[in-house]
Structure 1
Amino acid sequence: MTTIDKTAFARLEAEGRLLNPVLKAATKKAGRFGFRGELALVFDTQLADEARPPLVTCDQVIAVAHEGEPHIAFFTGFLLSFEWLKNVADVLGDTLSPSGKYFLYCDNIDLSKKYQVELNGATFFILPIHEATVYNEILELLYLEKNDLKKLDTAGKTDAVANAALKFTGKFEAITYEEGLKVMGPVRNPNENRPV
């Protein structure tokens, strides 16, 4: 059975970055480990033994890594701001690979645009978020039918998404991170309009 310490997730786990997991376990595919949850990008200052939530996270993460391989093969998640792409690239760091498939749904990019950005030797596909969830968005992008996956458990669904993502060959408009910063919109306050 594949354990997290034998995969590219080991460092992220040791750093306490894999939060609120819906899945953090071996998947149905031999040698594959899956994670679904949040990735902590920027930690708050810790005071004594007080545990504070991170200041910045990548939410709705779906990712897989394979036993004995140094890289995360597939990663997708939600960012409130395109600007945090740099944080994702820095945090994932040595787990990124030129052959990996990395998709980030950003809340503050033009709904009609899709980009690809090279950072830390990897290509990130940057997409707007139309639906409420990354899961629904990635299914649509990869032409996966939700009904076909309904009977699968979380690990099975993660495998199905990862298998399709690893075959993805799409190309979007290539821009630099700096160009992306210039075209991104304002960052929405996720707490506005919430009942107090």
Structure 2
Amino acid sequence: MTTIDQTALGRLEAEGRLLNSVLKGPTRKAGRIGFRGDIALKFAAKRADEARPPEVSSDQVIAAAQEGESHIAFLSAFLLSFEHLKMLAEVLGDALSPKGKYFLFCDNIDISKRYQVEFGGASFYILPIDEATVYNETLELLYLEKTELKRLDTAGKVDAIADKAAGFSQSFPKISYEEGLALMGPVRNLYENRPV
């Protein structure tokens, strides 16, 4: 059976970056490891033995990597700010590939816009998030029916999404990372208007 350390997700696991997972292991497809959870991008300073949440993370991640391949084949994730793309690309490093399909739903991108950004040797689809979850937005983007996936377990859902994403061929206006920084809106305070 394939283990996470035999895939491109192995290094992230070894670095303690794969957090809050609802799936971190084999899917129904031979040789594939799936992940659903968060990826720590910037760790908080440690004090004594206290485990602190990361300062910056990419949340609601859905990812898949194949045994024997040096890159992550598919990744869909939430970023609070488009600016964090640089941090994500640096953390993923050599696990990125021009062949991979990477979808980033950014909270501070104009709701009517979609872009493609080349960064770290890979192409990222940059999309707004419309008050929904990355899971729902990804299904909508890939024209996958939620009802069709309902009977599948988490691993089966990751397989269905990753397989459909592999054939995704739409293209969006290409911009540079610097152009994206100039276009992005303010970063929302996630804890605003929450009861204490």
In the TM superposition, 1:157-172 aligns within 5 A as 157-172=157-172
Q: Could you tell me how far 1:90 is from its partner in structure 2?
A: 0.4
Query: Is residue 103 of structure 1 aligned with residue 94 of structure 2?
Result: no
Give the equivalent residue in structure 1 for 2:91.
Answer: 91
Are 1:14 and 2:14 an aligned pair?
yes
Q: Which runs of 4+ in 1 moved over 2 A?
A: none
Find the residue that maps to 1:138 and give its secondary structure: helix
**Aligned twin of 1:65:** 65
* Structure 2 segments unaligned to the other structure (5+ residues): none
Tell me the equivalent position of 1:119.
Answer: 119
Provide the C-alpha distance between the structure 1 equivalents of 2:167 and 2:47, rounded to a whole number of angstroms.
Answer: 45
Count matched residues.
Answer: 196
Q: CA RMSD in A?
A: 0.6
**TM (normalized to structure 1)?**
0.99
Deviation at 1:49, TM superposition (A): 1.7
Question: How far apart are the structure 2 equivalents of 1:108 and 1:59?
Answer: 15
Q: What residue identity is the alignment partner of 1:126?
A: I
| Identical pairs, percent | 70
Name stretches of at least 5 consecutive residues in structure 1 with no aligned partner.
none
TM-score (norm 2): 0.99
Distance 2:78 2:56 in 1: 11
Partners of 1:188 and 1:32 in 2: how far apart?
35
> 1:10, 1:159 → 2: CA distance?
18
Deviation at 1:51, TM superposition (A): 1.0
TM-aligned CA deviation for residue 134 of structure 1: 0.4
CA distance in 2 between counterparts of 1:15 and 1:49 reads 17
Query: Distance in 2 between the 1:83 and 1:119 partners?
Result: 12
